[in-house]
Chains A and B, each alone.
Chain A
Amino acid sequence: MSKPNPADRKYSKEHEWAMDNRDGTINMGITDHAQELLTDIVFVELPAIGKKVKQMEPMAVVESVKSVSDVFSPVSGEVIEVNKELEEHPELVNQDAFGKGWMAKLKMDNPAELNNLMDAALYTEMIKEEKH
């Protein structure tokens, strides 16, 4: 069973989360539901610092033994930090997708874009429906 989706952040329909740091930046990663679908994550390709991304464009890649999946940026902006730990320990995404498995910190171009994302209740509802 997936862990509950924390209420302190926003969610994309592609299963990314974004946490507003209230300083024009967000931290982002993939949801616990996403890591559960991917199962054994063995590689995470993080974006370069300084990379500019658009909302819902591919920004990183996660690979399980079997599959390669894009990770989409929940907002437009610039990558200012990445979670280097994932290079050696990609399994952190499986173990703690909402915490130690975070992927990147972005400086937002337009914080209003966060309104395009779902809150935890809506996202939880969406994945419940996907299962049926």
Chain B
Amino acid sequence: MKKTPLYDRHATLGGKIIDFGGWAMPVQYSNVIEEHHATRMKAGLFDICHMGEIEVKGPQAFELLQWVLSRNIEGQAIGQIKLSVMTNENGGIIDDVTVYRLGEERYMVVTNAGTKDNDYSWIETQRRARGLSDVQVIDNSDRTGKIDLQGPLSQEILQNLASDDLALLTYYHAKDTKVMKIPALVSRSGYTGEDGFEIYTESRRLGEIWDKLLEIGAGLGLKPVGLGARDTLRLEAGMMLYGNDMDETITPLEVVYGWVTNLEKDFVGSSALKKLKEKGLGRKLVGFEMQDRGIARHGYKVFKDATEVGVVTSGTYTPTLQKAVGLAFVPVSYSKPGTDIFIQIREHHAGARIVELPFYRRRK
């Protein structure tokens, strides 16, 4: 397993280590529920070094990205971030990524951990296929360290160490700044449904920032948070996880990524997606809440009356809402909020109801 630059610190903090996409990552330090609540109510600190950072730069960077991304990045300002997916020729999702515009001709594509190598070769393959020689695709993942600071007290905590006024940094925007005098890229974004920041810096300097944040945040209730609570936080916020809720056999139109898919422009997969849209979708990813006792998990079967009609892609007990919720694929005809379905939990069928996403929305 690969280790992040913070690996030894996780051991010291009592982190329970698991294999996540080939990375040795902490699943929890104390317990998932405590870490979840700390993030919703105070702040949580996450090691996100396993994710990938691919730089795309040069005069044809825009052209290449317009071709590989489903989102129209025309008009994306320097410092602005956009969520997007990359699809294959069939419209299947290769990865969901965030795209940072860092300069006139410079972008950073932030990928999932397990998909990074494939994403990199995909972008390179498309670059060659399109005959684009005036753009470079660089994998910076190994030398880039990333931590997320999430929760309502994030700004108060990080401001102590940052050299710019973080109040001026708006949602889904990034800024080159310094944290403890160490050059860092800080964005107001994340994967928890709370206010917070993603902090990118040189791998070898990351530990200093991690330690200092935990030190100054401890009195305010900041806790290190593992992948267990990262999963319950993102699911409550109605966010999907690549590999769980989507993969290359699933299109963005069937999951909740229709809004990041612009069929007015040409990109890899756009003609396949247009055809699919004309033909009509067969299935759709929806949120559900358990009505009967039990927790639905990834892979459990969905029934309408006695007929198997779909599958659960994510499911858990959510600490904030204190109920069992999840995401599932169902036929479009059964996808309306309020529809009752059943989920097979071991030997019995437990009732569940389709609801609007997200399950949780923070008060502004």
Contacts and interface: CB of A to CB of B under 8 A. Distances in A.
Contact of B319 (A45, A65, A87): A65
Interface in B257-307: 293-295, 297
Interface in B224-241: 228, 231-232
A70 B317 CA distance: 18
A68 B316 CA distance: 11
A40 B294 contact: no
Nearest to B316: A65
A66 B32 contact: yes
B344 to A, nearest CB: 13
B293 A87 contact: yes
B317 A65 contact: yes
A77 B317 CA distance: 32
B295 A39 contact: no
Interface residues of A, number: 12
Contacts of B324: 43
Contact of B32 (A40, A45, A61, A68): A40
Interface in A56-98: 61, 63-66, 68, 87
Contacts of B228: 65-66
A18 interface: no
B293 A39 contact: no
Q: Is the interface of B mostly helix, strand, loop or mixed?
A: mixed
A42 interface: yes
A112 B39 CA distance: 51
B27 interface: yes
Contacts of B319: 65
Classify chain B: how many residues form its interface, as a range: 10 to 19
B33 interface: yes
Q: Is the interface of A mostly helix, strand, loop or mixed?
A: strand
B32 A63 contact: no
Given A42-B317, A43-B317, A66 B33 contact: no
Contacts of B232: 65
Interface in A16-56: 39-40, 42-43, 45
B163 interface: no
B295 A63 contact: yes
Nearest to A37: B16
A39 B28 contact: yes
A39 B317 contact: no
Interface string B313-333: 000110100001000000000
B294 A43 contact: yes
B121 interface: no
Interface of B: 27-28, 31-33, 36, 228, 231-232, 293-295, 297, 316-317, 319, 324, 346
Given A45-B346, A65-B33, 7 more contacts: A42-B33, A42-B295, A43-B295, A61-B346, A65-B228, A66-B32, A66-B231
